[in-house]
Amino acid sequence: MPAAPELAAPTTVDLDAAADQAIAACGGDAREAVKALIVANDFLETQLDELRTKVSTGYARGRLPRTREQRNDPDD
């Protein structure tokens, strides 16, 4: 049994409905919806990076990918 269950890819209908919902939430402006989604994604990535720093290497057994800062580090 794998450690993490495989996530099912969303169907096209689900993606279309989610896109329509995001655009509707932004008053019908697709550009504003894209900007809002970019901000939300950045927020979630920041939270994920913070959680990665709090999880010990031993607990994660080295399975966690590097944080954004580590990937962009010019010293590598």
Q: How many CB atoms lie within 10 A of CB 33?
A: 19
Of the candidate ranges 12-16, 20-24, 32-36, the one whose mean pLDDT is the lowest: 12-16
pLDDT in tens, 27-42: 999 999 999 999 999 9
Structure tokens that stand for 38 in this block: 């970019």
Domain ranges, ordered by start, for the chain: 30-52+65-76
Instruction: Note the pTM of the prediction, 2 decimals.
Output: 0.61
Q: Are 67 and 52 in contact (CB under 8 A)?
A: yes
2 φ, ψ to 5°? -70, 155
